[in-house]
Structure 1
Amino acid sequence: MSNIVTKSLMDRLLKLQCHFTWDLLGEDVDIDNVEERLNDQIVFLQGALKHRMYNLLAYLKHLKGDHEKAMIQLQNAEAHIQRSKISEDTDVRRTVMYANFAWVFYHQNQFNKSFTYAEKVETIIKQYESPPKKNTLLLDIYGEQGWTYLSFTGKYYKWAAECFEKALELDPEDPELNSGYAITVDRMETFSCGSNTENKSFPLLERAVVLNPRDTVVKVLLALKCLDMKNYNQGAMLIEQALQEQPESPYVLRYAAKFYRKSKKINKAIAMLTEAVSLTPTSVTVHYQLAKCYKDFIKMPTHYNKQQNDEAIANAIFFSEKAIELNRLSVGAHILLAQVYMKANEHEKAKELFNKTLIMNDIDSEQKQQLHFYWALHLKYLRRSESGAVRHFKEVIDIQNPSWFRETAIKELKKLVETMKLGSHNCKLDARSPNCNSRRM
């Protein structure tokens, strides 16, 4: 094929709306981990538009350079659309899939087939170029793009929210789009510790539950939001409803476990997560949540049962390391393991992991604040190093990102500085005071 024709094909491909043109960068994710999550969703998420998961799986195979398996995933997507017996607009559901086909054939140097599929997309677009049919096409594309960004990694959540917002402008009552938008905003709040968009997700989750009462995932997320708002009874009622509706859903189990862990019912949470891990043994989230449960059992080195404490430390380390093994790019799992080492007073291991995590490519400003904050607490309470704690509280504050960690670090630093001033004053009164030496650590 001549260079002119090849360039013409590439120009057409670049105009297609699909995973290959949505700026999804392989270096941003642990590809194996995303594949595992998608495969679990195909098995366990009832009522999901699974052709979208197959489309993303095809793109992930492309990122691995395996275009034969990418083609198989696209064929799975097409077969699922055919089995779904969608009464209308089946071509709309094929738009992104056909565009992906065109790109995969291009990478296989099958340019004639690539042209054919690019033309199929263009034919569908022409059929839907006039209102109101155009809205139907845009809704599907925005929806698939939003779910793709949501499934990829945290740094894409903002783009996911924008896609769902565009789609909801066209159809505010669509249940699936409302669920997607509510889940996205909830995750954005979770990752920002509720500092900037606090409770914006609450009415969105409420609306999603009303529009799609069978969606147990949004139901348990709403329950967690109720708990954050100190409404335990409403949250517990929603959790029980979801567990009755889908008792063997690993997603319901993991979020219910999170609800009970945050309610200090840790043994109940561990039991649910143990069941969830039997269903999804490669889930990073489940191992991460188990590690958090066992971390909560670790006590400060006073008034505790040593055997139970040692078991809690061992389990917290095991499940944190397993989460990291399953997703090497999980900053949260690295931070959690560092916290476990801090609570166990394994200072050198904590310090090594602290420094390693700080230079990870995917770590954001808030996660850096989180690391410095917990390291400051570790130095203050377990190492009795007030000067070290001051230095790391300052590191938190110097990162110009509004967050709970920054606000709390400011308060902690003020208290610490006052304490150090008082200690310095007492040292002047009695130079022989042992406290005077400890303040200089």
Structure 2
Amino acid sequence: MSDILKNSLMDRLLKFQCHFTWDLLGEDVDINNVEERLNDQVVFLPDTLKHRMYNLLAYLKHLTGDHEEALLQLQKAEAQIQESSITEDADVRTTVIYANFAWVFYHQNQFIKCFTYAKKVDTILKQYESPPKKNTLLLDIYGEQGWTYLSFTGEYYQWAAECFEKALELDPEDPELNSGLAMAVYRMEGFSFRSKKTSKSFPLLERAVKLNPTDTVLKALLALKYLDMKNYNQGTLLIEQALQEQPESPYVLRYVATFYKRRGQMQKAIAMFKKVLSLTPTSSAAHYQLGICYKSLIKMPKALEGQSTRDIMQQNSEAIANAIFHSEKAVELNRSSVAGHILLTNVYMKVNDYQRAKEVVGKTLTLKNIKCDEKQELHHKWANYLMNSRKSESEAVRHFKEVIEIQSQTWFGKHAIKKLESLAETMIVQNSMDATGHALLGYVHQQRGQGIAAMKYYNKALLLEPDNQEYLEACSALQTTIS
């Protein structure tokens, strides 16, 4: 095929709505982890939803260069549509599948087959180009796109919510679309540092449960929201309903376990997360949650004083071993998980394994998908550990400064400034001739925008250490801002 015809075909494919045009980037994603989750969903989710999993699995296979397997997954998606479809608009649901077929064949340089599937897509689009049929097509595409984003990674949850919102403008009463929007917003709130008492997802979940009375996952999510609002009775009622109605669903069990964990019922939470793991053995999320639970059961040496019986010591040893095992396993199964790496660091710090903790901190900070607030959190936790457990003030100061200099408005930055101020004041009380303490107060005031006060403390530091290059540069930089 000539370059002109090939470019013309590419232009045609770029107009299709499908996984290849939805900006699903794989560079910073643990594809194996996403694939494992999707394979679990194929097993446990209803047959009517499986074509979506096969569609995304096909795209993941494309990302790894396995186009033969991608075609097999698309064939499964098409077969699933044909088996489960009971509406006259069944061909609408194949639009994305055929578009994906065309793209895979294009990447295989099978241009005749690519053209054949592109023609199929065009035929369907032409049949549904006019209202009200167009709305049917748009609803399916927005829904498929929304669920795809929701199944990929957390970076795409906002896009998922936007897709569901567009679809709901066309059909506000659609149960599945209401469910998708509620889940997307709920998950976005999980990444937020805002108070759990204010929740956009709560009314969305209430509406979704009303429209989907048999959806146990929605009930479990709503139960967790009731728990956030300290409505324990309603939350417990819903969580028990969900567990009774679907006791073998790993997705329901996961949220039931989370409910118990938040209520402080760790043994019940552990039992539930272990059941999730028995159903989905390669779930990094289940290992991660078990790591958190066991970490909470570890008793520090001071807490063991006066009660160091054999049973208690044995329980503590088991908690430590399990916390390390499950945290390490979570990272092993999902190497791009920032949360997993931070948990593993926290576990190593709690058991005072300095060398391993230091190694994981270094690895975590090099992850491509780590966010600014996650970097702040990690530096902050590490600085506290260095100061309190290692008595390494100079290293702690360096990491507190890293927290502050990351431009992200979070609690960690404000707290780091307070920590440095308290540390500097302690240094000066212990030794009024301590140049480091005066310089550190200068840095604190500089971060607060108090240039004159900052200059005063840096000048005091310079009187004590006249040749200190760091203090000279700080004064020079401050001079330009206050002159």
TM-score normalized by the length of structure 1: 0.91
Gaps of 5+ in 2: 305-311, 434-483
Alignment-derived partner of residue 229 in structure 1: 229
Query: What secondary structure sits across from 1:194 in the alignment?
Result: coil
Alignment-derived partner of residue 310 in structure 1: 317
Q: CA distance change for structure 1 residues 422 and 25 in 2, over 3 Å: closer, same or farther?
A: closer
Out of 320, 333, 345, the residue aligned to residue 326 of structure 1 is 333
Q: Is the 8 A contact 2:51 2:81 kept in 1?
A: yes
Residue range with higher mean Cα deviation, 232-241 or 300-309: 300-309
Superposition pairs for residues 35-74 of structure 1, below 5 Å?
35-46=35-46, 49-74=49-74
Deviation at 1:286, TM superposition (A): 0.6
Asked whether 1:410 is paired with 2:417, we answer: no
Q: Deviations over 1:72-112 (max 9, x none)?
A: 11111111111113223111101100101111122222211
CA–CA distance in 2 between the matches of 1:251 and 1:418? 46
Q: Is the 8 A contact 1:393 1:410 kept in 2?
A: no
Asked whether 1:356 is paired with 2:363, we answer: yes
Q: Is the 8 A contact 2:135 2:170 kept in 1?
A: yes
Q: Which amino acid aligns with 1:424?
A: I
| Structure index of larger Rg | 2
Alignment-derived partner of residue 103 in structure 1: 103
Deviation at 1:198, TM superposition (A): 4.8
CA–CA distance in 1 between the matches of 2:371 and 2:50? 31
Alignment-derived partner of residue 432 in structure 1: none
The higher relative CO (CA closer than 8 Å, separation ≥ 6) is in 1
Out of 413, 424, 428, the residue aligned to residue 424 of structure 1 is 428
Q: Which amino acid aligns with 2:261?
A: R
Residue range with higher mean Cα deviation, 289-298 or 389-398: 389-398
Superposition pairs for residues 35-434 of structure 1, below 5 Å?
35-46=35-46, 49-194=49-194, 198-304=198-304, 305-385=312-392, 388-403=395-410, 405-406=411-412, 410-411=414-415, 413-414=417-418, 417-418=421-422, 420-422=424-426, 424-425=428-429
Q: Which amino acid aligns with 2:371?
A: D
Residue range with higher mean Cα deviation, 288-297 or 183-192: 183-192
Deviation at 1:47, TM superposition (A): 6.2
Q: Deviations over 1:168-202 (max 9, x none)?
A: 22222111111111111111111223369951111
CA–CA distance in 1 between the matches of 2:49 and 2:197? 29
Q: Is the 8 A contact 1:390 1:413 kept in 2?
A: no
Q: Which amino acid aligns with 2:429?
A: H
CA–CA distance in 2 between the matches of 1:283 and 1:426? 52
Q: CA distance change for structure 1 residues 390 and 90 in 2, over 3 Å: closer, same or farther?
A: same
CA–CA distance in 2 between the matches of 1:396 and 1:197? 27
Aligned residues: percent identity? 69
CA–CA distance in 1 between the matches of 2:394 and 2:199? 37
Q: Is the 8 A contact 1:253 1:272 kept in 2?
A: yes
Query: What secondary structure sits across from 2:27 in the alignment?
Result: helix
Q: Which amino acid aligns with 1:231?
A: N
Q: Deviations over 1:257-285 (max 9, x none)?
A: 11111111101011111111010001111
Superposition pairs for residues 3-18 of structure 1, below 5 Å?
3-18=3-18
CA–CA distance in 2 between the matches of 1:85 and 1:164? 22
Q: Is the 8 A contact 1:386 1:416 kept in 2?
A: no
Q: Is the 8 A contact 2:92 2:137 kept in 1?
A: yes
Residue range with higher mean Cα deviation, 66-75 or 185-194: 185-194
Query: What secondary structure sits across from 2:10 in the alignment?
Result: helix
Aligned-residue CA RMSD (Å): 2.1
Q: Is the 8 A contact 2:404 2:416 kept in 1?
A: no
CA–CA distance in 1 between the matches of 2:251 and 2:140? 25
Deviation at 1:5, TM superposition (A): 2.3
Q: CA distance change for structure 1 residues 412 and 360 in 2, over 3 Å: closer, same or farther?
A: closer
Query: What secondary structure sits across from 1:86 in the alignment?
Result: coil
Aligned length: 426
Gaps of 5+ in 1: 430-441
Deviation at 1:55, TM superposition (A): 0.6
Query: What secondary structure sits across from 1:27 in the alignment?
Result: coil
